[in-house]
Amino acid sequence: MHIATATYPLDSFEEWSEYEAKLTRWVSEAAGQGAELLVFPEYGAMELASLAGAEAAADPERSIKAVSERMAVANVLHANLAERFGVHVLGASGPVETDAGVVNRAYFFTPDGGMSHQDKQIMTRFERDEWGIVGGGGLRVFDTVLGRIGVLICYDSEFPLLARTLAEAGAEIMLVPSCTEALEGFWRVRIGSMARALENQCVTVMSSLTGIAPELYSVEENTGRGGVFGPSDRGFPATGVIADGQHDTPGWTLAQVNLEDVRIVRADGNVLNMAHWPEQAPRLSKLEQIDMRQDSP
């Protein structure tokens, strides 16, 4: 399959038609280059807050409400574009108000009209302490004509057991939409994405926000780039990097992936991380603490 993952800049809009034109242009460009799976980043939907005015966009509670109220109509637009261009789309995530609290939710669309979503599982300190975002519903695996796809939203990619759960449920591709304001944040998510690809012998796809948007609360500064990663094994690049975008350069990073390569390395790779994972557990109980200090009694 052909994958396009975004390095996506935020904009401010006065009219809905401006957002519609931007999203249409992005989807059209990726589809025009042969992409079948498009991945937008975490919190890319925050630009919808600008439609409620500058004061609302700069306020924590009002920006959440403004985005949450517009997600339904944004979903209609995404669904129409997925059908029109014949692509699968992971839309940019955004805050959504639910009965359990505000969650960080990314919607997934298929060209035949299918729509579902994945909520972020584990919140960063900023999300929980300053923004009041809570962990949403559980993990999901999406069965598609392209293959089985899972989603780990940004910080979730840094927790191995979440990815392992997706892999055991059959996920061969894990999408990692991210929003990071500093270079160290970007590298945490990138390193996590590459590690999850190694451990689970799968493909991970990272997308990023980029640029400065001082008018939008919580996403004022962003840095990153798109990347597609696999295990460093037969059929994949030795570095594990299948495709790598230009840092902080808006646009799509494109990659071609054959899931048969995932199945081959899982069954008969030079190493078998996926199969050998259970061997960790019995060894944990055998931990010994050895005191090597010379002055110990």
The pLDDT, as a whole number, for residue 201 is 98
The pLDDT, as a whole number, for residue 74 is 98
CA atoms within 13 A on the CB side of 283: 5
Report the alpha-carbon distance of residue 166 to residue 149 in Å, rounded.
8
pLDDT tier for residue 182 given thresholds of 50, 70 and 90 = very high
Which residues make Cβ contacts (< 8 Å) with residue 32, sequence separation at least 6?
A: none
Q: What angle do CA 243, 156, 70 make, to 5 degrees?
A: 90
The pLDDT, as a whole number, for residue 296 is 59
Is residue 267 predicted with pLDDT exceeding 80? yes
Residue 56 C-alpha from the chain's centroid: 26
pLDDT tier for residue 247 given thresholds of 50, 70 and 90 = very high
Average of per-residue pLDDT across 142-157: 98
* Domain annotation for the chain: domains and CATH numbers: 2-284 (3.60.110.10)
Phi, psi at residue 205, to the nearest 5°? -130, 110
Give residue-wise pLDDT tens across range 271-283: 999 999 999 999 9
The pLDDT, as a whole number, for residue 41 is 98
The pLDDT, as a whole number, for residue 38 is 99
Average of per-residue pLDDT across 214-226: 97
The pLDDT, as a whole number, for residue 295 is 74
> Quick check: 175 and 202 in contact, CB under 8 A?
no
Strand 203-212 relative to strand 221-222, pairing: antiparallel
pLDDT tier for residue 294 given thresholds of 50, 70 and 90 = confident
Is residue 212 predicted with pLDDT exceeding 70? yes
pLDDT over 90, % of the chain = 99
Give residue-wise pLDDT tens across range 47-66: 999 999 999 999 999 999 99
Q: What helix, strand, coil percent values describe the chain, rounded to 5?
A: 40, 25, 35
Give residue-wise pLDDT tens across range 110-143: 999 999 999 999 999 999 999 999 999 999 999 9
At residue 112, what is the residue type? D
pTM flag (> 0.75): yes
Average of per-residue pLDDT across 85-104: 98
Is residue 297 predicted with pLDDT exceeding 90? no
